Structure 1
Amino acid sequence: MPLVPVTELLKKAEEGKYAVGAFNVNNMEIVQAIVAAAEAEKAPVIMQASQGAIKYAGIEYIYALANLAASKTSVPVALHLDHGTSFEQCMKCIRFGFTSVMIDGSKLPLQENIALTKKVIEVARATGVSVEAELGKIGGTEDDIHVDERDAFFTDPEEALTFVQQTGVDSLAIAIGTAHGQYKGVPKLDFARLEKIVGLVKIPIVLHGSSGVPDEAIQEAIGLGVRKVNIDTNIREAFTNACRQVVESNPKEIDPRKVLSPAREAATEVIRQKIRVFGSAGRA
C-alpha cells in the first residue's frame, strides 16, 4: 500500500490506547528489517530518517527504499523526517515524498519555535503531510545534567499548551527524562509532568530517545498518552553486534551478504519485540 501520513496512524493509536513504533533507517537492510517485523507482528510502523541518514544514503535512496517497502506490504507504513532543523530541509523531504516531517525548533526561544513550526505546517497541511514539533531539550546521554538542572531542560506544561494552541501541530515531542544514544544508567521519566502535558494539549505525544528505557516505563508512558515511540540505538546495537560476530568468528569472510543477513535478522527481532511492548502488534 502507499505510504501514509503519521497522523493517520496516531489517530488510530489514540483510539486504541497504544503507541506506534518509529524506527530509524540508514540502509536497505534496516528498511527490510522494519517491514519484516511489521508484517510478522501485523503492526503499523513509521520509518524515519535523520539528517545523518539522509546525508549517508541520500534522500532519493531513502525515499525509494521506503516507498518500495511500503508498496510491497499489507501493513500501513509512514515515512518521517526525524529532527529536521530548517524550513528548507522539511520542504525538500515533502517534495521527495515523505509523508511526515519533524521541525525541531527546541533550541530556539518559544516564540521563534512557534513561528518556524507554523511556517512548516502552512505548507505541509496543503500537501497532506503530518508535522511533529519539539518543546524542551532532549539531550544526548553524554550531556552531564545534574538533577537540579533537569527541570530547565524538561518541557514546561503551560508552554506546551501555548505552543499547541498557537501552532496547531499534529504531534509533540517532549522532554521528560529520555536522551539520545546509549544510557549510562537507568533513565527516570517524569510521569507527573507527562500526565499534566497530555491533559493540557490533547494531541499525540512523542517520546524520543527511548532505546534503553525499561519496557515497564515505556508502557507506563503509553498508558498516560504517548502515541509515538522513537527507537534507533537499540537497532544499531543489534545490527552492528551481529556483523561483529560474523567477522570475528570468520575473519576471512568477504561476502557482504553473509555479514549483513544476520544483522538484518537481529534488527528484525529487536523491532518485533519493541512493537509488542508498544501494544501495536495486531493493529494493522
Structure 2
Amino acid sequence: MSLITSTEIFKRAYEGKYAIGAFNVNNMEIIQGIVEAAKEEKSPLILQVSAGARKYARPAYLKKLVEAAIDDTGLDVVLHLDHGEDFEICKQCIDDGFTSVMIDGSKHPFEENIKLTKRVVEYAHEKGVVVEAELGKLAGIEDDVNVSEKDASFTDPDQAVEFVERTGVDSLAIAIGTSHGAYKFKGEPNLDFERLEKISNLLPGFPLVLHGASTVIPEFVEACNKYGGNIPGAKGVPEDMLRRSSKLGICKINIDTDLRLAMTAAIRKFLVENPEVFDPRKYLGEGRDAIKEMVKHKIKHVLGSSNTL
C-alpha cells in the first residue's frame, strides 16, 4: 500500500454520493486513532497537514508518521497540505512527497487567485500531484486561518465554473455557510444548499470540498467543560446537513475541531479521575481511543464511506 492521489477515490465518492473524510493530523496518537478507524471501517482516507501542524511537529516527523501508518495498516492514504498560503509552501510539500496540496488564494482578488492557483497546478501536475483551491471565504479561526465574519463571502457559482476552467484545478473548496473553528453559528445552523446544488450542476462530476465541517459534537464539549474546560457556546454543522451535502457533489469533508475536542475531553476526564497518573502513555492512549471511536462514527454515520474500499 502507498501514498495515493485523491483522483480515483473522489470519482467513486461522487458516483456513490458519499464523502471522504479529510482529517487534520498533528502527532502520532492522532494519526493512529484515525487510521485504525479507517482500517476497521474499510474507508478511503485523507490525512492533511496544516501550517500549524508543520510548525508544531515539523514536516519530516509528520511524513514519517504517515508512512509508518501505511506500513502498519496496509491502507492507501492521501497526504494533503491544508491551506497552503503561497506557491513556495505548496512546492515544498510537493517536493517532499505529498500527493495533494491546497493552494488557498481566497484572500486575493479573483484574477490573482486564478494566477496563483494556475501556477501551483502547473507545477503539481508535472509531478503527478493533485491540487485543491478555494473560492469564497470561510469565517472563523483555525491554526493560521483567521477570517472575520464581515470578510467572509459565499462562492459565486458562475465564478466557480470560470475558476475551474481557467486554472485546471482538481477540486474546489466552496463557501456555503460553514466556518472554521468551534464557533460556527451564532444562531441556528444554516447551509446554502441551493448555492451548492447550482455549483454542482454547473460542474457535473467535479469534486467539491467542504471546509469548516466539524459537528462540534456536544458530548465532547460537555466533557471538556465538566472536567475543567471553558468552551461555552460552541456549535458546529449538524450531521444531517453534512450527509445532504455529500449527495450534492461534496466529495471531501474536512474535520479538525472534532478531533481536538474528542482527544481533549478524553484526556481531561482521565487526568481528573486518575490524579496520581503522570505517564503520558496512559492519558495520550485515552485520547487516541477517543479519536478512533469518533472517526468511526464520522465514517459510518456522516460521511457514508464505510466499506467502499
Report the TM range for the smaller structure's normalisation.
over 0.9
Cα distance in 2 for residues equivalent to 1:143 and 1:120: 23
Whether 1:205 aligns to 2:205 is: no
Matched with 1:253 is 277
* SS of match in other structure, 2:247: helix
User: Does the CA-based 8 Å contact 2:33-2:292 persist in structure 1?
Assistant: yes
Matched with 2:104 is 104
Residue identity matched to 2:41: E
User: Does the CA-based 8 Å contact 1:43-1:75 persist in structure 2?
Assistant: no
User: Does the CA-based 8 Å contact 1:3-1:71 persist in structure 2?
Assistant: no
Matched with 2:193 is 191
Cα 1:161–1:169 shift into 2, 3 Å: same
Residue identity matched to 1:201: L
Match of 1:235 among 249, 253, 259: 259
Matched with 2:306 is 281
Cα distance in 2 for residues equivalent to 1:166 and 1:234: 35
Matched with 2:169 is 169
* SS of match in other structure, 2:140: coil
Residue identity matched to 1:240: T
Cα distance in 1 for residues equivalent to 2:22 and 2:86: 21
User: Does the CA-based 8 Å contact 2:103-2:133 persist in structure 1?
Assistant: yes
* SS of match in other structure, 2:179: coil
Which digits, 9 at most, give the CA deviation of each residue in 1:111-168, with x for residues without a partner?
A: 10001011001111011111000000011069664xxx69x70001111111001011
* SS of match in other structure, 1:224: coil
Please report how far the alpha carbon of residue 52 of structure 1 lies from its aligned counterpart in structure 2 after TM superposition: 0.2
Cα distance in 1 for residues equivalent to 2:201 and 2:134: 17
Cα distance in 2 for residues equivalent to 1:131 and 1:70: 22
Which digits, 9 at most, give the CA deviation of each residue in 1:91-120, with x for residues without a partner?
A: 111111111000000000001000101100
Matched with 2:53 is 53
User: Does the CA-based 8 Å contact 2:137-2:147 persist in structure 1?
Assistant: no
Residue identity matched to 1:278: L
Whether 1:91 aligns to 2:94 is: no
Please report how far the alpha carbon of residue 15 of structure 1 lies from its aligned counterpart in structure 2 after TM superposition: 2.3
Cα 1:49–1:143 shift into 2, 3 Å: closer
Q: CA RMSD in A?
A: 1.5
Whether 1:122 aligns to 2:122 is: yes
Please report how far the alpha carbon of residue 34 of structure 1 lies from its aligned counterpart in structure 2 after TM superposition: 0.9
User: Does the CA-based 8 Å contact 2:46-2:78 persist in structure 1?
Assistant: yes
Give the 4+ runs in structure 1 shifted more than 2 A: 71-76, 141-145, 183-187
Please report how far the alpha carbon of residue 58 of structure 1 lies from its aligned counterpart in structure 2 after TM superposition: 0.4
User: Does the CA-based 8 Å contact 1:124-1:130 persist in structure 2?
Assistant: yes
Aligned residues: 280
Paired residues for 1:148-163 under 5 Å: 153-163=153-163
Please report how far the alpha carbon of residue 251 of structure 1 lies from its aligned counterpart in structure 2 after TM superposition: 2.1
Q: Normalised by the size of structure 1, how large is the TM-score? A: 0.95
Whether 1:65 aligns to 2:65 is: yes
Which digits, 9 at most, give the CA deviation of each residue in 1:13-49, with x for residues without a partner?
A: 1222211000000100011011100011000010001
Matched with 2:40 is 40
User: Does the CA-based 8 Å contact 2:140-2:148 persist in structure 1?
Assistant: no
User: Does the CA-based 8 Å contact 1:179-1:210 persist in structure 2?
Assistant: yes
Please report how far the alpha carbon of residue 240 of structure 1 lies from its aligned counterpart in structure 2 after TM superposition: 0.7
Cα distance in 2 for residues equivalent to 1:34 and 1:144: 31
* SS of match in other structure, 1:189: coil
Gaps of 5+ in 1: none
The farther-off stretch of 23-32 and 198-207 is: 198-207
